[in-house]
Amino acid sequence: MRTIFHVDGDAFFAACEQAVHPDWVGRAVITGAERGIVSAASYEAKAKGVSRGTALWDVHRIIPDAIIVPSDYETYSTFSNRMFNIVRRFTPEVEEYSIDEAFVDVTGCDRMYNCSYNELALRIQSVVVRELGISVSIGIGPSKVLAKVGSKWKKPSGVTEITVDTRESYLSKLDVEKIWGIGNAHAARFRMAGIRTAWQFASMPESTMKQSLYKPLKEIWHELNGTSVNPVITSIKQAYKSISKVKTFTPPSSNALYLKARIMRNLENACIKARRYGLLAGSVGLYLRKQDFRSAYGEHKLAIASVYPSELFSVLENMFDTLFDQRALYRATGVVLLGLHSTGQAQKSLFSHYNASKKLAGLYKSMDQINRRYGKHTVATGTSLRLTHQPYHTSSRGNIPIRAQKRLIGETSRQRINIPLLHVVV
């Protein structure tokens, strides 16, 4: 049995700002001034009802004396590195999962430090507070999924240990879509099956699970039941075996153009993540889910590894044409990048392709920079723009437009500020 910590910074960006500006401690501090919406809110601001995504004009109204600053990623990364390095003093088995989150395999550390895992977590917390002036919450569990449930359970400065024996009392109080890796994409599917809590999912019989085609869900099921199937991976470059981006939409659609636009958006999201970790995909997978919850899935091995939507989309389009049934209504699409390996390895073996890729690499590097600064999809590929401009939803009876979807769920008009569109031909 493994023991895994999930270490998670509390209101991380806002906490870094307070650590740098001690006179801001105890006050409502908001980051995200450059985006027009809250990126992070200090606990003082959260207490008044401000949270991530709140529009800044609302913040002004709710907390007139709030301190609102633009994000300062350089400072946050410095804090992030220092935080991970503190954890590494205890064990090298640290996976940097995001700027303020790490998974740590502490199996055996209880004997090494002659203390309980709970005490070890408290020690890590106190060193982080003492040296960095920020706080972290730590979840302890036999798997990554349970550790992640734990770190969210009690915040800020919480330590929550979930064992195989105690998991029911936590999971029965948790909505199934709150589980890491499940999200809203599968929530409707679970609801149909009468599964509302994480515990209801975890206590499904294994035989039922085996029939599910969707591998990530099976892995989550095992992790919820205390079997670690996703190990803590120390090297960032191997951190992902696959990257998948699946999203449900309403109303369901049978319009191929609209569905392809959704696929392009899934692909863009998956590629952004892969590029962030310096990874190339060796294969791509396409996932389509119908309204009746049946799904179709196809995979294709690429002749040349890539991480650029403009190269990968045609492959997905071909698969789509094979999988797509025009009599059916679809409610979710997804893209999976598989066979991931680091960019360095690929450049050597694919020398002839290197020049063309170098140009694309430059193009996407600029896109990534713009998008990091101004919000995701400020610059996007032409195909996915169908999502934002045209009424492509159709009813089940034919091509009667139901409504125009102006934005994707979760996006705000502020994220689409006016900067020139970079049109990539696909």
Residues with a known catalytic role: 101
Angle, vertex CA 141, rays to CA 135 and CA 146, nearest 5? 90
What distance in Å separates the CA atoms of residue 201 and residue 176, rounded to the nearest whole number?
7
**Amino acid found at 250:** T
CB of 8 to Mg ion, least distance (A): 4
Q: Which residue in this structure is represented by tokens 């994220």?
A: 415
Footprint of Mg ion on 12-41 (CB under 5 A): 12
Among 108, 124, 107, 197, smallest CA distance to 159 is for 124
Q: Does 100 bind Mg ion (CB under 5 A)?
A: yes
Q: What are phi and psi of 292, to 5 degrees?
A: -80, 15
C-alpha of 261 from chain center: 20
274-293 footprint of Mg ion as x/- string (CB under 5 A): --------------------
Which one of 9-17, 199-207, 252-260, 415-423 is the stretch in contact with Mg ion (CB under 5 A)? 9-17
DSSP class of residue 154 equals S
150 binds Mg ion per the rule CB under 5 A: no
Stretch that binds Mg ion, among 93-101, 190-198, 320-328, 345-353 (CB under 5 A): 93-101
Q: Of 36 and 156, which CB lies nearer to Mg ion in the complex structure?
A: 156
Near Mg ion in 365-424, by CB under 5 A? none
Q: Does 9 bind Mg ion (CB under 5 A)?
A: yes
DSSP letters spanning 111-139: HHTTS-HHHHHHHHHHHHHHHHS--EEEE
Segment contacting Mg ion by CB under 5 A, of 5-13, 62-70, 363-371, 378-386: 5-13
Residues 186 and 145 sit within 8 Å (Cβ to Cβ): no
CA dist., res. 55 & res. 413, Å (int) = 11
Tokens 């895994």 identify what position?
A: 4
Q: How far is the CB of 10 from Mg ion (least distance, A)?
A: 7
Q: Note whether 96 binds Mg ion by CB under 5 A.
A: no
Alpha-carbon distance of 331 to 377, in angstroms, equals 22
Residue with smaller CB distance to Mg ion, 40 or 261: 40
Comparing CA positions, the residue from 386, 184, 153 lying closest to residue 268 is: 386
Please name which of 337, 186, 193, 326 lies closest in space to residue 276, comparing C-alpha atoms: 337
Residue 39 in contact with residue 13, Cβ under 8 Å? yes
Q: How far is the CB of 238 from Mg ion (least distance, A)?
A: 23
Interface stretch with Mg ion, choices 100-108, 267-275, 333-341, 358-366 (CB under 5 A): 100-108
Compute the least distance from the CB of residue 368 to Mg ion, in Å: 22
Q: How far is the CB of 9 from Mg ion (least distance, A)?
A: 5
> What length is written for the chain?
426
> Which of the stretches 98-106, 156-164, 230-238, 405-413 binds Mg ion when contact is defined by CB under 5 A?
98-106
Cα 72 to Cα 70: distance, rounded to the nearest angstrom: 6
Task: Kindly indicate which of the ranges 1-9, 34-42, 238-246, 342-350 contains the residues binding Mg ion, using the contact rule CB under 5 A.
Answer: 1-9
Q: With respect to Mg ion, which residue has the nearer C-beta, 156 or 339?
A: 156
> Under the criterion CB under 5 A, does residue 93 sit at the interface with Mg ion?
no
Q: Is 8 in the site for Mg ion (CB under 5 A)?
A: yes
Measuring CA to CA, which residue among 265, 251, 268, 291 is closest to residue 393?
251
Nearer to Mg ion, 100 or 105 (CB): 100
The nearer residue to Mg ion, 136 or 272, going by C-beta atoms, is 136
Size of site (CB under 5 A) for Mg ion: 4
Side-chain half-sphere exposure of 306, counting CA atoms within 13 A: 25
161 binds Mg ion (CB under 5 A): no
- Least Å distance, CB 11 to Mg ion, is 7
Nearest to Mg ion of 100, 268 (CB atom): 100
| Closer residue to Mg ion (CB): 8 or 105 | 8
Residue 113 or 153 having the CB closest to Mg ion: 153
C-alpha to C-alpha distance for 190 and 287, rounded to whole angstroms: 18
Instruction: Please state the closest distance from residue 40 (CB atom) to Mg ion, in A.
Output: 8
Which residues ranging from 216 to 275 are in contact with Mg ion (CB under 5 A)?
Answer: none
Q: How many other C-beta atoms lie within 10 A of the C-beta of residue 87?
A: 22
CB neighbour list of residue 420: distance below 8 Å, 6 or more residues apart? none
Say how far apart CA 412 and CA 106 lie, in whole Å: 41
Q: Helices marked H in 205-255 — which ranges?
A: 206-211, 215-224
CB of residue 140 to Mg ion, shortest distance in Å: 17
What does the binding site for Mg ion look like in residue numbers (CB under 5 A)?
8-9, 12, 100
